[in-house]
Structure 1
Amino acid sequence: MIIRLSDCPSQPWKNGLGSTREMAVHPPGAGSDDFLWRVSIAEVDSAAPFSRFPGIDRQIALLDGNGFTMTLDDGRIHPLTTPFAPFAFAGETKVAVNLVDGPTRDFNLMVRREHARGEVLVWRGPGTHEPDPSSVLVYCARSVIYSAEGPLHAGDAWRPSSASPVQLHLQHGALALVVRIERYAPGRSRT
């Protein structure tokens, strides 16, 4: 299934200080209190602090703009200025933001840590890639990716609709962010 960013309505951050476009959530229709995982594209146009999500592991990657510096409440300072380089942090962490130079957009993965583990991988084209069974979403960050369901342009995402193996063809200059989710076995959790 292809998801067009233009079809994903803008919605306010949980803290109301920014906006985001939810590309995918599991289970479908889940809200911020009951999702297992969620992928969104955030617009960061001011030095507003991030929303806090207790019990959630987050990964963020710069898509557009010059980025920002994240100051975390554990004392770490992370410059999110290198495009497409995922950075992981706990959702309950208090994060202050200082923009480098103008607004940015970033890719966000959130995973409920009690039930699953997630990661964001980077594929660079050209070439053919076959997502493994734990891949739940492929986001086209640059150029074009061809799937059996049609082309993905920058800003589009693809979700597998069956367990059958598929191939995605990245064109010259293409770059994809791939979300992998591994659920814990019933009765087991990370904690």
Structure 2
Amino acid sequence: MMHSTQIKATDLTPMPWKNGGGVTREVAVWPVGAGLDAFIWRISLAEVAQSGPFSRFAGIDRILVLIDGHGMELADTHGDSTLLQQPGELLCFAGEAEIVSTLHHGTTHDFNLMWRRDQANGHVEIITTSQSMALAAGTHVLHAVSSAIDIQLSTTETKRLAAGDSLILNTEKPQAISIQKAESGLLIHAQITSK
């Protein structure tokens, strides 16, 4: 059995980053209602309007996906840096790392998956084509980045995601779904499983 919850972009409430350096909108968190120091996993959409340090999260692993904007460079204290330029480009890093962002062409927006590494595993894939998908048991979040996308959950149920909307799917056993998207559409699929 699969349970689905649709989250509209217009329903998300802005809140400051943990370090106050930007604005984020929480899409989903587990346990429900958990704060920034108590979640097992969390998905959010962040607005980065100025260069500066990211918030640090001990015991957390993160995946950040650029969804809008042109040019955000992420660098750590070891001198390693990654330049994200196109929507769908991503970076995985530890929450403890001292990461500093440098914007090259104005404000960017990104999709963030964070999970507590001793309690869960997280994975993100970028989907650019219409396709059938086999979902493993666990929690899945589908986020439509740039255009409307139809998610067929069964022969009798289809969910339409407008750009910026997300669909949370919880399934106790493997489940097949079908994704129908526009040519330019971009879909982020985040999967979280418990350890």
TM-score w.r.t. the length of structure 2 is 0.87
Structure 1 pair 158/24, CA: closer, same or farther in 2 (3 Å)?
same
Of 27, 46, 51, 2:50 maps to 46
Aligned-pair Cα RMSD in Å: 1.6
Of 138, 145, 151, 2:160 maps to 151
Structure 2 letter corresponding to 1:76:
D
* 1:33 aligns to 2:37 (yes or no): yes
Structure 1 pair 163/114, CA: closer, same or farther in 2 (3 Å)?
closer
User: 2:75 aligns to what?
Assistant: 71
Equivalents in 2 of 1:67, 1:14: separation in Å? 23
1:152-176 per-position Cα deviation (integer Å, ceiling 9, x unaligned): 0111110115547352422222321
Structure 2 letter corresponding to 1:160:
L
Equivalents in 2 of 1:138, 1:66: separation in Å? 23
Q: Report the number of matched residues.
A: 184
User: 1:169 aligns to what?
Assistant: 179
Equivalents in 1 of 2:99, 2:170: separation in Å? 35
User: 1:121 aligns to what?
Assistant: 125
* 1:15 aligns to 2:26 (yes or no): no
Deviation, structure 1 residue 181? 1.4
Of 96, 100, 104, 2:100 maps to 96
Q: Is the 8 A contact 2:138 2:171 kept in 1?
A: no
Deviation, structure 1 residue 146? 1.6
Structure 1 pair 44/50, CA: closer, same or farther in 2 (3 Å)?
same
User: 1:182 aligns to what?
Assistant: 193
Q: Percent identity?
A: 36
1:51-100 per-position Cα deviation (integer Å, ceiling 9, x unaligned): 11111001001100103111112321111223212210000111111101
User: 1:188 aligns to what?
Assistant: none
Equivalents in 2 of 1:74, 1:142: separation in Å? 34
Moved more, 48-57 or 136-145: 136-145
Moved more, 131-140 or 97-106: 131-140
Of 43, 59, 65, 2:63 maps to 59
Equivalents in 1 of 2:71, 2:176: separation in Å? 34
More strand per residue: 1 or 2? 2
Q: Which runs of 5+ in 1 are unaligned?
A: 185-191
Deviation, structure 1 residue 135? 4.2
Q: Which runs of 5+ in 2 are unaligned?
A: 152-156
Q: Is the 8 A contact 1:13 1:20 kept in 2?
A: yes
